[in-house]
A = this chain, B = another copy of it.
Amino acid sequence: MPQTIDRVSIEALRPDPVKVIAQAAYLELSEFEALSRAASAAPDLRAKEALSNAAGLVLAKHRALTAELRRRGVEPAEAMAPYREPIDAFAVMVAGADWYEALASIYLTSGLLDDFFSRLAAGIEDGGAKLSAVIAGENGAEAIVDMLADAMAENPKLGSRLAVWGRRLVGDTLLVARSALPQTQPNAEHRIEPVLTELMAEHTRRMDRLGLTA
């Protein structure tokens, strides 16, 4: 059961709980913004409804995480501040050239990062399981997959464009994940490696769900 071993590996790194929660909180806020932009740009009202619903789900995750920061006596705006610049820069890099690339990006990057941060949060001693569940919670991905599948069925060229785009996203997304890990611990690289492998395997599964080759 490699999954169990990997989870132990990453949890055992025991990063600072406040840092993990704050970075995850800002990532959810950034995903909320991307979903809101996609909702605004939606070509029809059904898509707008689905995307604004997804935005609401992701905003609820963000708010649960900022509530947890407050519970720990930390002001969310202060705790999230160090992550704003790098995550904003990441959001620009993965924004995509059009609405479809934006949707694929939301699905693939938030899939990977929610996956990663929910594993990392599981290692937090006080309330880690609950935080992990919040981060892994419902984010409207199902509706996005359906919308992209419909669009690719109508326009086969879109599929090959999104396949390239999906592959390009991975590197930058993994960098965000790595930035959350303490670099100073001995054997950190050794512990992280199998986790990255598993994150990549999950990314490949999401690409498969879109009918794309990773």
Contacts and interface: CB of A to CB of B under 8 A. Distances in A.
Contacts of A29: 48, 52
A189 B126 CA distance: 63
Interface in A69-84: 76-78, 80-81, 84
Contacts of A44: 77
Main DSSP-derived SS at the A contact region = helix
A55 interface: yes
Nearest to A81: B45
Contact of A49 (B40, B49, B55, B76): B76
Q: Interface extent on A, as a size class?
A: 20 to 34
A62 interface: yes
Contacts of A49: 66, 76-77
Contact of A77 (B32, B45, B76): B45
A56 B60 CA distance: 8
A59 B32 CA distance: 12
A63 interface: yes
B56 A63 contact: yes
Contacts of A46: 77
Contact of A33 (B39, B63, B76, B77): B39
A213 interface: no
Nearest to A25: B49
Interface in A18-70: 29, 32-33, 36-37, 39-40, 44-46, 48-49, 52-53, 55-56, 59-60, 62-63, 66
15 contacts: A29-B48, A33-B36, A33-B39, A33-B52, A36-B55, A37-B37, A45-B77, A45-B84, A49-B66, A52-B59, A52-B62, A55-B59, A56-B56, A56-B60, A56-B63
